[in-house]
Amino acid sequence: MNINSFITGDQQPLVFLHGWGANMQMMNPHAALLSHDYKCINLDLFGFGKSDEIENYQKFEDYVDALHTFLISKNICDPIFIAHSFGARIAIKYALKYPVKAMILTGAAGIRPPLSLRKKLRIYLHHKGFKMKGSYDYEKASGFLRKVLIDAVNQDLSEEMKKIEVPVLLIWGKNDKETPLWMGKKMHELISQSSLIVFKDGDHFAYYQEYARFCFIVKEFLEGLDL
């Protein structure tokens, strides 16, 4: 399986996991800055960018296992994850199955919001046999990514977050509409060793819009840990 990746720097490995519909280019500025002090592994996640899809995919854990296989092939053990949105789902699931040193999660997905009246109506009509158009992400995705998306959004990781035992830094945009700030605050409550920093002018892509500030905070956070 071809995985499009770029590795630079040395010492403690940082693994970058981009969000849904994106690719490794979103994390390139961060890898460039942090590679002075860390070994940075940036990649297109499976089915995105120039990376292949996972053959015989059955469940979301297969995505996590495929990432682990890739990292082991690059001699990457006990990574630190820097993950955005969908990538944070992967990081959380990974940390519950394989050794991880720490995680920086930004605009992280993983908490399922309460169903709105509109969504309840869509579910009701679906069960009654009416065909409803899916979300933009779903309509645009390949068959493989549609299955991954369904598996991902149907999982609420709240209970899993309570089991995370590594330091976690949460960085959120105050104006995030994709994963609203209340989700970041909830994750902060659920993850015992977590800190939350809010970019007051940021949205779902605050980590990218203010990448230099983001990297400075990440470096300060990591330097304060006994890794």
The average confidence (pLDDT) of the chain is 89
SS3 content of the chain, % helix, strand, coil (to 5): 40, 15, 45
pLDDT attached to residue 142: 64
- State the pLDDT confidence band at 150, using cuts at 50, 70 and 90: confident
| Superfamily of segment(s) 5-114+156-223 | Alpha/Beta hydrolase fold, catalytic domain (3.40.50.1820)
Give pTM, 2 decimals: 0.89
164 with 92: CB under 8 angstroms? yes
CB 203 within 8 A of CB 175: yes
Q: Please give the full DSSP string across 9-20, using - where no structure is assigned.
A: --SSEEEEE--T
Does residue 138 have a pLDDT over 70? no
Write down the pLDDT at residue 141: 56
Phi and psi at residue 172, to the nearest 5° = -130, 150
The percent of residues above 70 in pLDDT, for the chain, comes to 88
SS3 call for 6: strand
Instruction: Return left, alpha or beta for 102; rule: phi > 0 is left, psi -120 to 50 is alpha, else beta.
Output: beta
Domain ranges in the chain are 5-114+156-223
Mean pLDDT within 63-80 = 96
Name residue 103's beta-bridge partners: 81, 168
Cα→Cα distances 136→72, 108, 139, 146, 191, Å: 34, 19, 5, 11, 31
Reduce the secondary structure of 66-95 to three states and give it as a string.
HHHHHHHHCCCCCCEEEEECHHHHHHHHHH
pLDDT tens readout for residues 112-121: 887 444 443 3
